[in-house]
Amino acid sequence: MSQRQAPRFCAYFDHLEGRQVMHMPRADWMRIGEIQVGEMVQVNLSDTPMAGVAVGSWVEGAVAERHSDGDVVVDVYRYDPKDAPRPINVDRYRVWERLPSHRDYSSMVVAASTEDNANMRGFLHDHVFLVKEEVDRVEHHLPDLPPRVKELLSR
């Protein structure tokens, strides 16, 4: 586990994104396994900062799919009988394995009143960042798990 911390940078990152930007040690993220573009793998939520979504919920499964180099999407499928006839709720998280291209590192360091030093660069190297996507009301409720997800989870 990394001893490097960047609390000002993280707080400013939250502010810029307008939502919580979670971080997790890159080594923990890499335990999920190598994910190729277009490939989908099962994720154990208990090993991630997303574990809270499972509290009080019936999680059908969680899968990660790489969309590009450095960008992965994790979909968490929860069952909620109150939402019948579309009882599957999808929570989507974006995983940035490096700072996203819409953010400028140098500007963030200055605005966060921190320094571009070994600790800061080490923190970025040692962590990945996760953000919960805004809920799309149409795609959030599904009648069933998508076929690709069912197939993966049944293996």
Does any domain span residue 141? yes
**Is 111 part of any domain?**
no
Residue 112 lies in a domain: no
Any domain includes 116: no
122, 104, 110: which is closest to 8 by C-alpha?
110
CA 92 from centre of chain = 8
Give the CA dihedral 129, 48, 62, 155, nearest 10 degrees: 120
Query: % helix / strand / coil in the chain, to the nearest 5?
Result: 35, 30, 35
CA angle 50, 135, 49 (to 5 degrees): 10
Q: What percent of the chain has pLDDT over 70?
A: 97
* The predicted structure's pLDDT at residue 110: 96
Q: Would residue 38 count as lying in a domain?
A: yes
Q: Give the number of domains in the chain.
A: 1
Q: What is the pTM of this model?
A: 0.90
Q: What is the pLDDT of residue 132?
A: 94
Residue-range definition of the domain harbouring residue 34: 7-95+122-154
